Structure 1
Amino acid sequence: MKKLFAFLLFMVMSSAAMAEDQIYTGTFSNKAVDGYDPVSYFMDDMPVKGKSDFKTEYKGADWYFASQEHLDMFEAEPEKYAPQFGGYCAWAVSTQKDFAPGDPEQWAVVDGKLYLNYNKNVKKRWDSDRTLHIKQANENWPELINK
């Protein structure tokens, strides 16, 4: 019984001490932005899925692109095209001071930066005061990612 208790305590403490990855990729994938082409958010009306022919690694995640041109653009300036807060939900980082998955279909480009949100309802909350939420998230992000 003592061994079981010690094991359970170890598991709880280990998971609490684990830091989140800098880039959200989901549990069973290493694809940033769920395989969407991050450059397409800045170029097209709707984001498009990337192709395995046009792929790169950045901050430990795999990034996919629709074309060689988009891949080249990203590799030249990854910070310009990568979503803010590693692709985690911008509203969760802002208001919850926590991590939540970012949905690549719930997005906004604000002042040349890409933001993702958890779902449509959360995005509506985030949209209600983007300036405040971006300010709060920018303040919370360094502490969250450095836990």
Structure 2
Amino acid sequence: MKLTISLLGLLLGLTAFGQIPTKHYNLKRGIAIQGYDPVSYFEKGEAKKGLESIQYKYNGATYLFASSAHKQAFEANPAQYEPTYGGYCAYAMADGDKVKIDPKTFKVLDGKLYLFYNFGGTNTLKLWNDEEASLLPKADKAWKKIINQ
């Protein structure tokens, strides 16, 4: 019983400091953002595919980078570059849903990376932009609930 309480306290403490359990990340074979370079979204304003030869494991997820400089930037401050909501669709997160993303459909807002679903003629980034003011707090609240379960 004491061990269970200690582990629960550790888990809650980790999520409070950004350490989210891997089960909440949108990963494919352990790779985050479908292999796209998280730093490229911020520095280049574009989704650029990372290279298998330049990778860094953080918080149980493996990130790929287009250059060694991008890897070094990430290593220096991973929390700055990690996608919000574990890399799931921000629009769907407003309803508490973990939905796949198109890594080329994104938005950087207030220093955070938001990713979106964009398949079959449905681009949720456009929907998000129309309702961002109301969706953002809903998505934040839903994400906090998910990671603290």
For Structure 1 versus Structure 2, the TM-score category normalised by the shorter chain is 0.7 to 0.9
Summarize deviations over 1:105-145 as a string: whole Å, max 9, x none: 11000111100011152221111122322211111111112
Counterpart Cα distance in 1 of 2:96 and 2:30? 24
Unaligned runs of 5+ residues in structure 1 are 1-18
Counterpart Cα distance in 2 of 1:70 and 1:20? 22
> Which has the greater radius of gyration?
1
Matched residue SS, 2:38? coil
Instruction: Give the root-mean-square deviation of aligned CA atoms.
Output: 1.7
The answer to which structure has the higher strand fraction is 2
Relative to the length of structure 2, the TM-score reads 0.78
Q: Is 1:122 aligned to residue 85 of structure 2?
A: no
Shift of 1:146: 2.8
The equivalent of 1:25 in structure 2 is: 27
Counterpart Cα distance in 1 of 2:133 and 2:58? 28
Q: Write out aligned runs for 1:91-106 (5 A).
A: 91-94=91-94, 96-106=95-105
Q: Is the 8 A contact 1:98 1:144 kept in 2?
A: no
The equivalent of 2:51 in structure 1 is: 51
Which of 133, 137, 140 is the matching residue for 2:139?
A: 137
Unaligned runs of 5+ residues in structure 2 are 1-20
The equivalent of 1:110 in structure 2 is: 109
Relative to the length of structure 1, the TM-score reads 0.79
The 4+ residue runs of structure 1 with deviation greater than 3 A are none
Identical-pair percentage: 39
Figure out how many residues of one structure are paired with residues of the other and give that number: 126
